[in-house]
Chain A
């Protein structure tokens, strides 16, 4: 069970029971991964995880987080562009939102253990289940985003098209951020403990992705607001990520190490580079396209990084035991 991406094991020595003589030793500092908190001692059952790690496939579920954000924030940008006389970028964003929604729905269904039963998602409406609420949200958002794109391209029923665009824009922010609740509403330490910051990370990341898509697919003369939005989205994402790392204590390690750490560092570089490209060269077609692509890639890296931080934290018992022990100690006074 101790997979290769078990984060931060280089700084721990788990006591397995006591006196079993079975100790897992650190393998000496790996390159560039510094301990963020002092070495902590804790007990575990042969180093086995306490939680059963998520069985979700990274490509499907992190991919869904990314595509859902791209679709949701894209719908807001499309409506804004449409209202302010930027029809070509509005149309491009409506099409990209529809495509992203299609991709994310396919990913969600593909991830099911019984894909043929996906309609059971609409069997009940359950406020305690973010996945149930999300399914109903997508059931409302999907037709709106589809109608917005199709009616724009065909030019049929413009009034209905505007209503669909407005509906998609109203639901889009929820589609972009509810996925943070989906992840946080689990026992996975790196997701649950981050439930305050994660929606803001996702909102920023979604805004950056959709702005990036506008830069790639829209004419440079119409993308002024998206260049500003790219900067704001990136700033929100980075600020929320830093706040998360500061507040999470030992669990923040799951975000800084292993595959999650590498992805999140890449995300930071790509997002900042993309936002800088948008601001300083966004009027040049090639620079706008490159910057937009970097923003999209940065957003995807953020979602995959957050996903892997969660699975890493579920696979290592220290992220479950140490915070709970601290909580008990604090409660005891």
Chain B
């Protein structure tokens, strides 16, 4: 029973049944076509969320949210790309929910609506979510958000319905360059390490992996990336930490504060004594 409670309520990965599945997004081959954004919206019936001109290069999508589960970032830089004969480079990267090993959204969800699937992914059960909004500021990446007019929290499910029948998620399926790769996380990590080595040999020294390390602040991401610049250039946090890592300390300090309140007021009444007896 103890293990059942622990498994259902805490954010740790389900003990191995299926292998943990994930995304490896290799931004070095992203061509910014946004097929992933479109495929995601179509497959998951995600509503339109604004058709705004931003002036941010080719990015009018702006960022992940309740109605954007894949977001292609565009960054124009005055830097050469590897040995290419150009002094300008254009970074493109398709961002997505990281499906963290230690997921803040899942930890803080008070209803149990957010849960860990048998694939190690993190999914919202929309028939349970009551729109409390706690998961939104708990996410260190700014992924999950509240859908306007609906009230509930929404995010990438890694196409839970597709992967359950052995299909790949819609974004990975639609990606024409295999920038988005779906598969068992162990395999993806091996493949990513080889790809970084290959890019370094080609002279692309700035290639680095992001979210691949199981020892990072979120226990590693189920969706990780190969980037060509610092994470914050792409709008990603450089060193995310799951907020609940500090929760024991938070409860301890709250306990001390509560004891201070109770003890302090008890002392005040003790000093003042019974009514009419002095002050």
Contacts and interface: CB of A to CB of B under 8 A. Distances in A.
B272 A121 contact: no
B108 to A, nearest CB: 5
Contacts of B136: 52-55
Contacts of B237: 50, 320-321, 324
A186 B141 CA distance: 11
A229 B260 contact: no
Interface stretch (B29-37, B175-183, B187-195, B246-254): B246-254
Contacts of B271: 225, 228
A51 interface: yes
A50 B137 contact: no
Interface string B149-191: 0111100000000000000000000000000000000000000
Contacts of B238: 321, 324-325, 328
Interface stretch (A80-88, A140-148, A258-266, A292-300): A80-88
Contacts of A125: 9
Contact of B260 (A48, A118, A186, A236): A236
A245 interface: no
B133 A111 contact: yes
A180 B236 contact: no
B151 A120 contact: no
A129 B239 contact: no
Contacts of B258: 173-174, 176-177, 199, 203
B254 A185 contact: no
Contact of A186 (B62, B79, B137, B279): B137
* Residue of A50, A125, A198 with most partner-chain B CB within 10 A: A50
B49 interface: no
5 contacts: A44-B232, A50-B232, A181-B251, A188-B137, A192-B246
A105 interface: no
Interface string A20-38: 1010000000000000000
B107 A129 contact: yes
Nearest to A51: B142
Interface of A: 1, 17-20, 22, 42-46, 48-56, 73, 76-77, 80-81, 83-86, 111-115, 117-118, 120-121, 123-132, 135, 169, 172-174, 176-178, 180-181, 184-188, 191-192, 195-200, 202-203, 206-207, 221-222, 224-225, 228-229, 232, 236, 310, 314, 317, 320-321, 324-325, 327-328
A83 B265 contact: no
B104 interface: yes
Contacts of A188: 137
B274 A85 contact: yes
Interface of B: 8-11, 54, 56-57, 59, 62-65, 73, 75-79, 91, 104, 107-113, 128-134, 136-146, 150-153, 229-230, 232-240, 243-244, 246-247, 249-251, 253-254, 256-262, 264-266, 268-269, 271-276, 279
Contacts of A46: 54, 56, 59, 235
Nearest to A89: B275
A84 B269 contact: yes
Given A50-B235, A181-B251, A321-B238, 7 more contacts: A17-B76, A20-B57, A85-B274, A128-B9, A174-B254, A181-B250, A200-B253
Contacts of A43: 230, 232-233
Contact of A83 (B108, B257, B264, B269): B269
A117 B73 contact: no
A112 B77 contact: no
Given A43-B233, A44-B235, A178 B254 contact: yes
Nearest to A175: B258
Contacts of A186: 104, 108, 134, 137-138, 243
A17 B249 contact: no
Contact of B253 (A169, A199, A221, A324): A199
Contact of A196 (B108, B253, B276): B253
A84 B272 contact: yes
* Residue of B153, B249, B268 with most partner-chain A CB within 10 A: B268
Contact of B269 (A20, A135, A225, A314): A225
